[in-house]
Structure 1
Amino acid sequence: MPDTTSDRFATLRAPAHWQAVDFISDLHLQASEPATLALWQHYLQQAPALRADALFILGDLFEVWIGDDVLASQTSDTPSFWHTCAQLLREHSRHTPVYFMHGNRDFLLGAQALAACGMVGLNDPTVLEFHGQHWLLSHGDALCLADTDYQRFRAAVRSADWQRDFLARPLSEREAIARGLREQSEARKRDSAHDHTLWADVDADAARQWLQAAGSQTLIHGHTHRPDQHDLGQGLRRVVLSDWDPTARPPRAEVLRLSPQDGLQRLPLC
Structure 2
Amino acid sequence: MVIEQALIISDIHLTPAYPHTAKRFIDFCQVEARKTPCLFIIGDLFEFWVGDDAHLHSPFHKEIANEIKQVVDSGVLVYFIPGNRDFMLGSAFAKLATWQVLPDPSIIQIGSKKWVLTHGDNLCTADPAYQLFRGITRLQFLQRLFMLIPTPIRKKMGAQLRQRATIKYQLRQHFNPQKANIKGNVTLQACAEILRKNHCNQLIHGHTHLPGIHQETQGQQEWTRWVLSDWDLDHPEMHPRASALQIDHSGVNVINLIR
Percent identity of the aligned residues? 33
Residue from 12, 20, 36 that aligns with 2:21:
36
- Per-residue CA shift, 1:186-232, capped at 9, x if unaligned? 11231233323033211112211211221221100000010011221
- Aligned amino acid, residue 236 of structure 1: W
- Does the 8 Å contact 2:72/2:78 carry over to 1? yes
Q: Answer yes or no: is 1:258 the counterpart of 2:247.
A: yes
Q: Report the 3-state secondary structure (helix = DSSP H, G, I; strand = E; otherwise coil) of the residue aligned with 2:246.
A: strand
Identify which of 87, 99, 113 aligns with 1:119.
99
Counterpart AA for 2:123: L
1:71 Cα shift? 5.2
Assess if the C-alpha contact under 8 Å between 1:70 and 1:82 holds in 2: no
Conserved? CA contact 2:13–2:45, under 8 Å = yes
Listed as ranges, the matches of 1:37-186 within 5 Å are: 37-46=22-31, 51-70=35-54, 72-73=56-57, 80-95=59-74, 96-186=76-166
TM-score by length of 1: 0.87
Tell me the SS of whatever aligns to 2:229. coil
**TM-score, with normalisation over the residues of structure 2?**
0.91
**Aligned residue pair count:** 248
- Report 1:222-233 matches (<5 A): 222-233=206-217
Give the superposition deviation at 1:235. Answer: 3.2
Q: Which runs of 5+ in 1 are unaligned?
A: 1-11, 75-79
CA distance in 1, matches of 2:112, 2:255: 23
Show the counterpart of 2:178.
196
Q: Matches of 1:47 and 1:220 in 2, distance apart?
A: 20
- Given candidates 216, 219, 224, the residue that maps to 1:237 is 224
Distance 2:246 2:112 in 1: 17
Return the letter of the residue paired with 2:31. Answer: Q
Letter in 1 for 2:51: G
SS of 1:220's partner is strand
- Residues 175 and 232 of structure 1: is their aligned pair in 2 closer, same or farther, counting only changes over 3 Å? same
Q: Could you list the runs of 4 or more consecutive aligned residues of structure 1 that deviate by over 2 angstroms after TM superposition?
A: 70-74, 191-194
Shift of 1:72: 4.8
For structure 2, the residue ranges without an aligned partner over 5 or more in a row are none
RMSD, aligned CA: 1.6
Distance in 2 separating the partners of 1:28 and 1:116: 19
Question: Residues 192 and 258 from structure 1, CA distance in 2 versus in 1: closer, same or farther, beyond 3 angstroms?
Answer: farther
What corresponds to 2:7 in structure 1? Answer: 22
Q: Distance in 2 between matches of 1:101 and 1:47?
A: 20
